[in-house]
Copies of this chain bind each other. A is one copy, B any other.
Amino acid sequence: MKIDPHNPADLSAQIAKAIRDAIISGALPVDERLPSEAEMAEQFDVSRPTVREALKRLAAQSLIRTQRGATGGAFVNRLRFEDAYGQQITTSTLLLSMNDVSFATACEARYALERACAPLSASRRSADHLATMRAEAHRQLQPGLTDEAFCASDVAFHRALVDAAGNPVLSYQLAGAVEAMQPLMNMITFSARSREKIVALHTSIADAIEAQDAGAADAHLAALAAYTQELAQNVIAERQSKRG
């Protein structure tokens, strides 16, 4: 764990990298306590604020946690899937909004991944996940629902579908793809008719999952993907006609 003292800039980044590499390589196991800030400052021959900046970088990635008090300090954090969800969603959302990713591209990716989950979800679905899917589908039919609330419920439905696969790695990867779509979906105004059609597809998907019919689930997901693309294209076409 060494840094380059000749490059006077970005000392905190170098220190953060050194510690991060030690964590990734396994040299620093989970719950291991790092030396105190004062000790590290001496080790790296920098000041304590510089060490602290490095530690904050690691804390931002949930790689360490800090405790105050006599037995406190910085500890290697066990990175949990739940903690990683948030970062994954934030990053995915920003990637889409900052890189002019088209609705079509994001939608294609999302449904491709979701359809990958469907066979696993069909074979392993629990009563719990099915109940969530049914409940969300039911919520989506309520009359007073705003478009935003409809989208949020849509996300919840699809997350339940993904979680039903019982594979935390899949759930983690899909969380980004599904949640990051929400800002894009919010540009769509869902009419009563389109909502009915979507909910009908949701219900068909839930039925197929309950019946453990992977083929039917896949077909309905494909139909939902196509219909979502269609809705988005209508919105885009409308906007262009207004402009012209």
Contacts and interface: CB of A to CB of B under 8 A. Distances in A.
Please give me the 4 A-B residue pairs with the lowest Cβ-Cβ distance, nearest first: A116-B116, A109-B169, A57-B60, A60-B60
Nearest to A16: B60
Contact of A59 (B57, B94, B97): B57
Contact of A170 (B59, B60, B81, B113): B113
Contacts of A57: 56-57, 59-60
Nearest to A101: B169
A176 B116 CA distance: 16
Contacts of A233: none
Size range of the interface on A?
35 or more
Nearest to A12: B56
A49 interface: yes
A61 B57 CA distance: 8
A105 interface: yes
Interface in A70-118: 78-81, 84, 87-88, 90-99, 101, 105-106, 108-110, 112-113, 115-117
Nearest to A113: B116
A98 B117 contact: no
B101 A91 contact: no
Nearest to A54: B56
A61 B120 contact: no
A170 B94 contact: no
Nearest to A116: B116
Interface of A: 9, 12-13, 16, 20, 23-24, 26, 30, 49, 52-54, 56-61, 63, 68, 78-81, 84, 87-88, 90-99, 101, 105-106, 108-110, 112-113, 115-117, 119-120, 165, 167-170, 172-173, 176-177
A24 B60 contact: no
A58 B60 contact: yes
A98 B78 contact: yes
A99 B80 contact: yes
A89 to B, nearest CB: 10
28 contacts: A12-B56, A23-B94, A24-B94, A30-B98, A52-B53, A53-B56, A54-B56, A56-B57, A57-B60, A60-B61, A61-B61, A61-B87, A87-B87, A88-B91, A95-B169, A95-B172, A101-B169, A106-B169, A108-B169, A109-B169, A109-B173, A112-B117, A112-B120, A112-B170, A113-B113, A113-B116, A113-B170, A173-B177
